[in-house]
Amino acid sequence: MPQMNMVQAINDALRIAMKRDDRVVVMGEDVGRVGGVFRVTAGLFDEFGDERVIDTPLSEGGIIGAAAGMALYGMVPIPEIQFSDFIWPAYDQIVSEVAKYRYRSGGEYPCKMVIRTPVGGGIRGGHYHSQHPEAQFIHVAGLKVVCPSNPYDAKGLLLASIEDPDPVLFFEPKRIYRAAKGDVPEGAFTVDLESAQVVREGGDVTIVTYGAMLYECLDAAEKVAGEGVECDVIDLRTLWPIDVTTLTESVKKTGRVVIVHEAPKTCGFGSELVSLICEKVFYHLQAPPKRVTGFDTPFPYTLEMEYLPLSHRIVPAVLETARA
């Protein structure tokens, strides 16, 4: 089984999808001859040509608007927004059109597409290249939202997203594009959407996270284990629809939960997770749920590593929760 990083795994998934279905089209800024700013689409232009790997103008609204038209005519577009920070000019197209077509047409016109975009900090990109905007899209009915943490999941979840009848936002944590490596099967396979994974097992505290922060949570779990606290670490993988069963069964077992994400705390996805846990398993809780997140500020440049919820911030939150 070959070893891949996330860039290679995503590239492999795109190639597989394009080979088996000539309706699949990749489009976005610099995705063609250049192969994308992170080289995720490298080689696809040479293999499939400029009618299926399309370099677009610098217009996010135009990219998603064109993709919506393609989808309504039966194609399977995979538009790339070069950085998630630049997705806002396309927000109206995504929210008002792409997310609504299947519902407003009674299922007659699904607007099937996968919108890929890099997210998160850790590469010294400053406040215009480091945001993690998942909450704004999870809030929108009609969209599915995915955020893988490793190459195996990146490939399997992307192929599952391409097969899915609904529009999917596929958030790719750029900090681990090349840092996360692992065994990835050759050929096509899928990872079920709405399936979280318990990456580490323990009975004292549940840590819930996704994307690049998984590795910070695993590091924190290793450190608190030295103080006698064993953690369930859950990688959500699909943020919406969420795997409620895996989440609540873990909290039933531990009675304590810490939620970790990069985005700011106020109205972040962690708020919804806390509400869901309280609604479903409130009487199993032995301590208040705790969130370790980014701060309620624009993403900083020089203080990037202070902003991110890294292991040194997660450890005290877990210990405090375990001892409450």
Cβ neighbours of 287 (radius 10 Å): 16
Same domain, 170 and 36: yes
Last residue of a domain, one of 126, 153, 183: 183
Answer yes or no: is 190 within a domain.
Answer: no
113: enclosing H helix or E strand = none
Answer yes or no: is 281 within a domain.
Answer: yes
Same domain, 164 and 256: no
> Residue 317 pairs with which residues in a beta bridge?
none
Same domain, 46 and 121: yes
Closest CA to 267 of 143, 137, 89: 137
Same domain, 139 and 263: no
Cβ neighbours of 213 (radius 10 Å): 30
Q: Which residues are catalytic?
A: 129
Same domain, 132 and 270: no
Beta strands in the chain (DSSP E): 3-5, 24-28, 53-55, 76-80, 114-119, 144-146, 168-173, 181-183, 197-200, 205-209, 231-235, 238-240, 257-264, 290-294
User: Residue 275: which domain range?
Assistant: 197-322
Domain count across the chain? 2
Same domain, 18 and 115: yes
Same domain, 163 and 49: yes
Answer yes or no: is 270 within a domain.
Answer: yes
Q: What is the CA radius of gyration of the chain?
A: 19
Q: Output the six-digit token pair for 219.
A: 């590091």
Same domain, 308 and 217: yes
CATH code, domain with 299 = 3.40.50.920
Return per-residue pLDDT of the chain as tens, 324 residues. Answer: 899 999 999 999 999 999 999 999 999 999 999 999 999 999 999 999 999 999 999 999 999 999 999 999 999 999 999 999 999 999 999 999 999 999 999 999 999 999 999 999 998 888 899 999 999 999 999 999 999 999 999 999 999 999 999 999 999 999 999 999 999 999 999 999 999 999 999 999 999 999 999 999 999 999 999 999 999 999 999 999 999 999 999 999 999 999 999 999 999 999 999 999 999 999 999 999 999 999 999 999 999 999 999 999 999 999 999 998
- DSSP string for residues in 86-109: G-GGGHHIIIIIITTHHHHTTTSS
